[in-house]
Chains A and B, each alone.
Chain A
Amino acid sequence: MYSVKQPPKRLVHRGSLQADQRLQRLAGLAISLIFTIPIVFVFFWMISMSFKTQVEISSPTPSLIPLQPTTAWYGDLLARTPFARYFLNSLIVGVASTGLGLLIGLPAAYAIARWKLKQAATIVLITRIVPAIAYLIPWFILAKQLGISDSLFLITLLHLTVTLPLIVWIMIGFFEGLPAELEQAAEVDGCNVWQTFFLIAIPLVQPGMVAAGILAAISSWNNFLFAAVLGGPNSQTLPVVIYNLLSFEQANWGPLAAGATLVCLPIVAATLFFQRYLVEGLTSGAVKG
């Protein structure tokens, strides 16, 4: 009786639907590869070049993978430039400018979100519009007068002009997402503004803080212009060092590729580790408008 109720025709149809779905999934993968292969290839090429010998690097018919892999360029880079020191510089500036950015940015974002300070939010957007070069000349003079030229402190302050607006921009979205009732309840219980901020709001926006912190640290790590112009022998950061490899060694791609790989490595690692936070931070404010 059952088999009559369920005609074989329907079964066939179902089977073909599954095959259809499978086909669709394969098609999705194939189309997505059109986008991801060029993305991955650039990273692949960077790594591949960093392990190639000079002969292979300058060959007009390059091979995809190094035929005689060598780590000589990495040794070369570490031996001839104070790479480890600049790596540490970048790390210190990144952590410091992110930490300071959070310290100042969190209360600011909270105030903007809580009291709906539309103008303040616009000012934060304007910081993104100001060409970074506008900061260079005033800071150049200020640094001389304060006697902080060529110091990591100066570079940290400059990077703050990038990390602070970014942190505020992302955190406004997260603070706005908090239900107002929670804060009202806290105030009824006798909390003042700072207590509400520290005891109620901050614990609830921790994922946002991670997202904002990671993105701020990455943008500081990637920043080139500030240290390139105002950094000296004591305060150079990695992107500047990598760039200098090009100017001094035209067509010597080995150290260049090795340097680029080492700069990108920590960021790629952080991206894989904090992917979820990163996506949240990057898209924060986009969907809500």
Chain B
Amino acid sequence: MPALLVIVLVVSFPLLYTLWQSLTDWVLTNPRPAQLIGPVNYIEAATDQRALEALLRTVILTGVAVGVQMVLGVLMALTMNQYFSGRSLMRTLSLLPIVATPVAIALVFVIMMNPSSGIFNAGLRAMGLPGLNWIYGQDTVLPSLVIVDTWQWTPFVMLIALAGLSTMPREPYESARIDGANAWQIFWNITLPLLYPTLFVALLFRLIDTLKLFDTIYAMTQGGPGTASETVNLYLYSLGFTYFRMGYASSLVIALFSLILAIALVLIKYRRQNVLG
């Protein structure tokens, strides 16, 4: 099918091109043609303090943000799965963060997190607490980004979990009730295991998307203050488009891609072994 060929080309061409570039010393502003230098860029990356710190930051940010989103998302789905008045309105409102423009939302959070005029600090002060520096503080910038990402993507986990809940079989619940199981036991021993295959999909997508999160961080902090919120994606962007070191930036693209691919493959393999179907 020609259509399939287009897709294969769309994916493989940039990847192979980037792979080739990563083996050169190409600098965009340098008129000298790029030379093949072998794995030098990768060796530089492995000893580049700034790259390693960016990697650690990426992993921590992703781990914390996705962890929080999964827990909150399941709780939210369980809530929205109950019958209550106004439920369909609440479900509709929950959809909005998933589709809202990330850059626009990031900028609204910049306004809300402003240390002097922002609503966040106004709220803290009203409770008698000192204001925070949010995205302008070395220690508070990553938690601030976790808040924004969690706000935007918890509803996605909720939506997937809700779809899983709506296809739950009834029998296990009926027999559990006859056996006298309480609500907590039912959730822990029946609902959650039945939900695993669905949650797996949400987890996979959230991990992939958070590991390569760009728009939100770029719009809010550009990796700052200093390099306090510089993830791999942000670092390689500035390498490529501020310093024009295309060769080195390409090696980090390949590294990030391999990392995400490896995590995705391990997850998929783990799932095939442990959850049937």
By the criterion CB–CB under 8 Å, are B7 and A287 in contact? no
Give the most central of A112, A133, A256, A287: most B CB within 10 Å.
A133
By the criterion CB–CB under 8 Å, are B14 and A246 in contact? no
Q: Select which of B11, B151, B158, B277 is within 8 A of A38 by beta carbon.
A: B151
| A289 part of interface (Cβ distance < 8 Å) | yes
| B119 part of interface (Cβ distance < 8 Å) | yes
Contacts of B214 in A (CB 8 A): 131-133, 225
By the criterion CB–CB under 8 Å, are B11 and A260 in contact? no
Stretch of A23-31, A76-84, A146-154, A201-209 with 4 or more beta carbons under 8 angstroms from chain B: A23-31
Q: Select which of B84, B108, B241 is within 8 A of A260 by beta carbon.
A: B108
Q: Select which of B82, B100, B109, B208 is within 8 A of A267 by beta carbon.
A: B100
By the criterion CB–CB under 8 Å, are A105 and B100 in contact? no
A-B contact count (CB 8 A): 258
A112 to B257 alpha-carbon distance, docked (Å): 24
| B246 part of interface (Cβ distance < 8 Å) | yes
A133 to B231 alpha-carbon distance, docked (Å): 14
By the criterion CB–CB under 8 Å, are B100 and A264 in contact? yes
Contacts of A1 in B (CB 8 A): none
Q: Select which of B15, B122, B162, B246 is within 8 A of A130 by beta carbon.
A: B15
| B110 part of interface (Cβ distance < 8 Å) | yes
B residues 101-155 touching A (CB-CB < 8 Å) = 101-105, 107-112, 114, 116-117, 119, 122, 151, 154-155
C-beta contact mask, B82-94 vs A, less than 8 Å → 1, else 0? 1111110010111
A272 to B95 alpha-carbon distance, docked (Å): 9
By the criterion CB–CB under 8 Å, are B102 and A133 in contact? no
Count residues of chain A with CB under 8 A from any CB of chain B: 90
By the criterion CB–CB under 8 Å, are A137 and B240 in contact? yes
| A246-B4 contact, Cβ under 8 Å, with A29-B84, A31-B79 | no
Q: Select which of B8, B84, B208, B241 is within 8 A of A32 by beta carbon.
A: B84
| A134 part of interface (Cβ distance < 8 Å) | yes
| A242 part of interface (Cβ distance < 8 Å) | yes
Contacts of A278 in B (CB 8 A): 95, 99
Count residues of chain B with CB under 8 A from any CB of chain A: 88
By the criterion CB–CB under 8 Å, are B7 and A168 in contact? yes
A57 to B114 alpha-carbon distance, docked (Å): 11
| B156 part of interface (Cβ distance < 8 Å) | yes
By the criterion CB–CB under 8 Å, are A285 and B111 in contact? no
Stretch of B40-48, B174-182, B185-193, B196-204 with 4 or more beta carbons under 8 angstroms from chain A: B196-204
C-beta contact mask, A108-130 vs B, less than 8 Å → 1, else 0? 10011000010010011111111
By the criterion CB–CB under 8 Å, are A224 and B102 in contact? yes
By the criterion CB–CB under 8 Å, are B21 and A272 in contact? no
| A132-B212 contact, Cβ under 8 Å, with A24-B82, A28-B83, A137-B21 | yes
List chain B positions with a Cβ less than 8 A from chain A: 1, 3-4, 6-8, 10-11, 13-15, 17-18, 21, 72, 76, 79-80, 82-87, 90, 92-105, 107-112, 114, 116-117, 119, 122, 151, 154-156, 158-160, 162-164, 167, 197-198, 201-202, 205, 208-209, 212, 214-215, 218-219, 233, 236-237, 240-241, 246, 249-250, 253, 256-257, 260-261, 264, 277
Ranked nearest first, the 7 interchain pairs of A and B with the lowest CB-CB distance are A28-B84, A108-B3, A260-B104, A283-B163, A28-B82, A239-B103, A286-B201
27 A-B residue contacts at CB 8 Å?
A: A32-B80, A35-B90, A36-B90, A42-B151, A107-B1, A107-B3, A108-B6, A127-B7, A131-B256, A131-B260, A134-B257, A137-B14, A137-B250, A138-B17, A139-B14, A222-B100, A224-B219, A239-B103, A242-B101, A253-B117, A270-B99, A271-B95, A275-B92, A278-B99, A282-B160, A283-B163, A287-B163
